[in-house]
Structure 1
Amino acid sequence: MSEALLTSQPPGTDTAVPGASGARQFWRRLRTQRAALVAAAVVALLVLVALAAPLLTAIEGQDPTTYHPSLVDSARGGVPIGSFGGVSAEHWLGVEPQTGRDLFARLVYGARVSLGVALAATVVQLLLGVVIGVAAGLGNRWVDLLLTRIADIFVAMPLMVVALALLAVVPTSFPRPVLVALVVGLVSGWATLAKMVRAQTLTLKELDYVAAARLSGWSTVRIARRELLPGLAAPVITFAAILVPSNITVEAALSFLGVGVKPPTPSWGQMLTSADVWYQAAPQYLLLPAGALFVTVLAFTVLGDGVRTALDPRAASRLRIGTGRGREAKPETKGETSRKARRETKGVAS
């Protein structure tokens, strides 16, 4: 309910708190989806591993950049010595071919790069998309036309070609993870979000509570912040959940092509680039980063789908199927209706 409408209500009128009830309803719907809860647990574990990478590598006693030439067989081209790629008490997942660098340390530090770049790019995309979308929806005809055309240009822009060009010309002294996050965030994603936010803003600004706020003399910025942004929260959160796995894939692709994160900084895509010639001699060097990417993207995708379903009011009836409330609301059969009618008739006659 708008603050402008609340101020016009008579004293003593009972008003609900939509934000709190909406959050409880969202959590209740999300809890009915076991796949989404499992995906959320996997995502939380991945984030925890990324944050605790220095602690985990300190417990193992290794780091991601130290070479161990004595652990690889130079006569065989640098294949790790020992079974399963050199797995031991000192190297939990084995070592990297040719260099002997610890694979566990590079994998957990690579999680920091992949997740950090993806999340930072998502924040940039959300800021640009929401601001430009709301500005286009609330602006006059010329502002709307200009911002919409700019968004159309970025929607049609080939991400990989532009990213390759930008990353190739920027000096190597610039921090590469920050650069990749900025390029991915500025080139892709936000334009589609802006078009969606603009369409939603055009719908919301015609509602009564926004008109009441306008008549109360509120500024455009205050109306956008107090009235429009709460209504845009659900679609924006849903779109953000979809953007994160997409950004993880883009970062891995750029690093795989050699224009993303540069050595010695570990990255899953960079590890895949080096592992493409070792899939027979040292298969774990390829399977570990590929499996980490697969699990991460799958977990974020399933979680995003669960968030979308929980935020969609039309999914409420579908989520109640098979639950206790669904069975209570089950319509009576013809036989049950006739028996109930006979009992009521007998009671009246007596």
Structure 2
Amino acid sequence: MSEALAASPAPAADLSAAGASGARQFWRRLRAQRAALVAAAVVALLVLVALAAPLLTAIEGQDPTTYHPSLVDSARGGVPVGPLGGIGADHWLGVEPQTGRDLFARLVYGARVSLGVAIAATLVQVLIAVVVGVSAALGNRWVDQVLSRMTEIIVALPLMIMSLALLAIVPGSFPRPVLVALVIGLIAWGTLAKIVRAQTLTLKQLDYVAAARLSGWGTWRIARRDLLPGLAAPLITYSALLVPMNIGVEAALSFLGVGVKPPTPSWGQMLTAADVWYQAAPQYLLLPAGALFVTVLALTVLGDGVRTALDPRAASRLRVGTGRRGEARADAGTAAGTDPLRPGTPADGTKEATA
């Protein structure tokens, strides 16, 4: 028995084949969800626009910081001159009230800031959560107690209030997008750390981890070789949902005046300046608000699709269906003595004899 438990892990070729098979199953389940595919296409387009912002603004012939006083009517308080906020061949989405800065350039550069801050904050959260969660699960009782209590304190802290306090006391010379990403990441990792700890405690009970321990592997080698691959699915799932949450936090902080500072464009900052122009220049409010809404919605739908694709039980529920029709199918399969998830297979799991 002990020799079987202490057997060496599976060959690398077998592990690679299993990983490839799991990846194929994941993509197959993800492709079966049309909403997730559309959301993935929208997210990819937004990322492409953010990365290509310098090229796009160069094609338009504008930049996000140049003032155009001649394009606003000072007699009317700075309202853009021309129809629809000054939309034309030179300014594809019009200009900003009072300053005349190009709205298209500020919108695409704002995408770089908003998405960059959200993704960087998510990476910080994941890194801290993995270190704290795995250490708590693998450490002794005292280490677990200390890290668990610290995690609960972090979870209980009000994110917006702590972020406002930290951002208000940091000198203005520090790069603001980097600071916002660090503040969000350093405050909002508690919930993910609790998920990592719980998942690690579950993985510790599996046979292959016990075999690795009996074979003489150290704790951190087991964590690196056996536990971290098992944590990939919940980490990817929760991270996909953290990105839209962090975009909303960054926009809220910029709206409150402690986030990204002018002249650096940000969607939240544009919303802050647009709150008094929704009647005179509605596009100045609608464009960043619409971009923020579409981005958060697409990332949320994509995150939910990734969660479903990584969870075989959720995928099974999708195949069977929900509601009355799904229940009818399950009841019909049970009455016929077959498994509703695998037509033609008896419900007891045995294979039917073939003539």
Scaled by the length of structure 2, the TM-score of the pair is 0.87
1:88 aligned residue: 88
Contact 2:7 2:211 in 1 (8 A): no
- Is the 1:32–1:319 Cα contact (8 Å) retained in structure 2? no
Structure 2 CA distance, aligned partners of 1:15 and 1:261?
45
- 1:186 paired with 2:186, answer yes
CA distance 1:77–1:138, shift in 2 (3 Å): same
Match of 1:159 in 2: 159
Q: CA deviation at 1:332?
A: 9.6
Task: Find the counterpart in structure 1 of residue 117 from structure 2.
Answer: 117
CA distance, structure 1, for counterparts of residue 40 and residue 290 of structure 2 = 18
Structure 1 residues 178 and 332, CA, compared in 2 at 3 Å: closer, same or farther?
closer
Give unmatched runs, 5+ long, in structure 2: 322-328, 337-354
1:206-245 alignment to 2 at 5 Å?
A: 206-245=205-244
Q: Measure, in 1, the Cα distance between the counterparts of 2:307 and 2:334.
A: 32
* Aligned-CA RMSD value: 2.1
Amino acid aligned to 2:8: T
Distance in 2, matches of 1:42 and 1:235, equals 23
Determine the structure 1 residue equivalent to 2:106: 106
1:319-341, Cα deviation, whole Å (9 max, x unpaired)? 3248xxxx9xx84987xxxxxxx
Amino acid paired to 1:247: N
Percent of aligned pairs with the same residue? 80
Q: Distance in 2 between matches of 1:41 and 1:8?
A: 39
Verify: 1:319 aligned to 2:318, yes or no.
yes
Question: Which amino acid counterpart does residue 7 of structure 1 have in structure 2?
Answer: S
Offset from partner CA, 1:58-94 (integer Å, 9 cap, x none): 0000000000000000000000000000000000000
Q: 2 CA distance for matches of 1:114 and 1:321?
A: 39
Give the distance between the partners of 2:288 and 2:74, measured in 1 at CA: 24
Cα distance in 2 between the residues matched to 1:198 and 1:273: 39
State the match for 1:69 in structure 2.
Answer: 69
Contact kept? 2:133, 2:197, Cα under 8 Å: yes
SS in 2 for 1:24: helix
Match for residue 20 of structure 2? Answer: 20
How many angstroms apart in 2 are the aligned matches of 1:229 and 1:282? 51
Identify the residue that residue 340 of structure 1 maps to in structure 2.
none
Correspondence 1:1-350 to 2 at 5 A: 7=8, 17-188=17-188, 190-321=189-320, 331=333
SS in structure 2 opposite 1:100?
coil
Rounded Cα–Cα distance in structure 1 between residues aligned with 2:184 and 2:72: 37
Q: Distance in 1 between matches of 2:44 and 2:14?
A: 39
Aligned-pair distance for 1:19? Answer: 1.2
Deviations 1:220-279 (A, max 9, x none): 111001111111111111110110000000000000000000000000000000000000
User: Distance between the aligned counterparts of 1:242 and 1:332, measured in 2?
Assistant: 37
5+ residue gaps, structure 1, are: 335-347
1:341 maps to what in 2?
none
How big is the shift at 1:131?
1.1
Distance 1:15 1:220, change over 3 A: closer
Change (3 A) 1:71 1:33: same
After superposition, the C-alpha distances for 1:275-304 in whole angstroms (9 at most, x for unaligned) are: 000000000000000000000000000000
Paired residue type of 1:82: G
User: Which whole-Å CA distance do the structure 2 matches of 1:321 and 1:313 have between them?
Assistant: 12
The answer to whether the 8 Å contact 1:5/1:209 transfers is no
> Counterpart amino acid of 1:269?
G
The Cα offsets for residues 189-244 of structure 1, whole Å up to 9 and x where unpaired, read as x1111111111111111111111100111111110011111111111111101100
**Contact in 1 for aligned 2:6/2:214 (Cα 8 Å):** no
CA change 1:143–1:91 in 2 (3 A) is: same
TM-score normalized with structure 1 length: 0.89
Question: Secondary structure of the residue that 2:265 maps to in structure 1?
Answer: coil
| SS in structure 2 of the partner of residue 17 of structure 1 | helix
Distance 1:159 1:178 in 2: 17
- Tell me if structure 2 keeps the 8 A contact 1:109–1:267: yes
Change (3 A) 1:211 1:290: same
CA distance in 2, matches of 1:248, 1:14: 40
User: Structure 2: how far apart are the matches of 1:219 and 1:279?
Assistant: 62
Distance 1:22 1:292 in 2: 34
